Structure 1
Amino acid sequence: MIDDLDARILNILQDDATIPLNDLADKVASSRSAVWRRIQKLTDDGVIKRHTIILDPEKAGLGVMVIAQVKMQAHSRDSLPHFIDKVKSFPEVIECHTLMGDVDFFLKIRVKDVQAYEDFFWNSLSQIEGVREINSSIALTAWKNTTKIAVKPTK
C-alpha cells in the first residue's frame, strides 16, 4: 500500500533521485529519518526498482528512434522465449513488450541513424528464428517522453 507520504516521496524522487535527503524531507513536510525509512521500505518492497540516470539520446549519439512491430510465425513453447532472449541481448532494443492482438511484440529501438537501423534490421532482428514479419516506423518528434509514473496513494 502506498500512502500519501509515500506518493509524494516517489513523485519527487522520479524528478530528481539525487535530491538531498534533508531537502526531500522539507518538501514532503516530514522528518529526515522518517523519509529515509520510507525510501528503504519502498526499495525493500520492490516499489523502487533501481536508481538510474536518463541520457539525452541525441547527445549520446543515438538520435533515431524506431518503433518495430514483430509478428511471429508460430507461438510455440520455444519460439517466443527464444525471441525474447535474443532481443534482450541487443543493446539497440531499449524496450520490448508482448502484445495481444495482431502483433506479437512491440519494440523501441535506438540507433545512430537510418543506416544503423538497416544494418540492425538485416543482420540481427530479422535473423531471429521464428520471425515472420517486422513493420518499422521511424519516430520523428517526441511530444512526450517520460519515465515518470504518476503515483497516487493506494489506501
Structure 2
Amino acid sequence: MQASPKPLDGLDWRILDQLQRDGSATAAEVAEKVGLSQSPCWRRIQRLEEDGIIKRRVALLDRKAIGLNVLIFSHVKLEAHSGDLLTDFREAIRRIAEVQECFVLMGQVDFMLRIVTKDIEAYEALFFEKLSKLPGVREINSMIAVSTVKETTELPLPGLAG
C-alpha cells in the first residue's frame, strides 16, 4: 500500500507558484526564488511530481502565433445517457485534436468543449465532418469568442497568503 502524500507546507506552495509561472525553471532557479538551497528544492520538486501534484511541465504556445485564430465554446447535448453512449462519445472526442478541453456538465447540457481552429471555415468543416457525427449527439450550440479578457494556466494556490 502506497503512503499518502505528505501535506504541503509553505515552501511547497512557493515552489508550486514559481513552477506554474515558469515550468522550465531549474531547481537552482526555483530554489533561489523561494529561499532554499538547490538539493532540498530538487527533492521537493521530485516529491511533488511523484505525488501527482505536478502533473507535467509543458511549453505553452500562443495559438494565434501558430495560426489558430478562432476559439469556440460548444455545448453538446446527447440523445441519452447510457453507459456505452457516454463512453463512445468520450473516446471519440479525445481523438479530435482541435478539441482542447471537454468538460462533463450538470444541467441543461451534457458537455462543454473548448475548440481551436484556424478560421470559421475550418470550424464549419470540423462541425459537419466530425462533431455532428459524434456518437449520440442530439444538439450542438457553439459560441465564438471575439476577444480574451483573461487567460491563465496559473491556479490560485490556497497555501499562499493573499
Tell me the TM-score normalised to structure 1 length: 0.96
- 2:106 aligned to which of 76, 80, 100: 100
> Conserved in 2, the CA contact under 8 Å of 1:67 and 1:138?
yes
Rounded Cα–Cα distance in structure 1 between residues aligned with 2:12 and 2:69: 35
Unaligned 5+ segments in structure 2 are 1-6
When the two chains are superposed, the root-mean-square deviation of aligned CA atoms in Å is 1.1
Q: Which amino acid aligns with 1:55?
A: L
- 1:33 aligned to which of 30, 39, 42: 39
- 2:142 aligned to which of 126, 131, 136: 136
Partner of 1:78: 84
Structure 1 vs Structure 2: percent identity of aligned residues? 45
Rounded Cα–Cα distance in structure 2 between residues aligned with 1:39 and 1:23: 12
> How many Å apart are 1:64 and its aligned residue?
0.3
Unaligned 5+ segments in structure 1 are none
Answering whether residue 15 of structure 2 is matched by residue 9 of structure 1, we say yes
Partner of 1:69: 75
> How many Å apart are 1:98 and its aligned residue?
0.3
Larger RCO: Structure 1 or Structure 2 (Cα < 8 Å, ≥ 6 residues apart)?
1
Partner of 1:123: 129
Rounded Cα–Cα distance in structure 1 between residues aligned with 2:110 and 2:14: 37
Rounded Cα–Cα distance in structure 2 between residues aligned with 1:22 and 1:75: 50
> How many Å apart are 1:151 and its aligned residue?
1.6
Q: Which amino acid aligns with 1:12?
A: Q
Number of equivalences:
154
DSSP 3-state at the match of 2:73: strand
Answering whether residue 49 of structure 2 is matched by residue 49 of structure 1, we say no
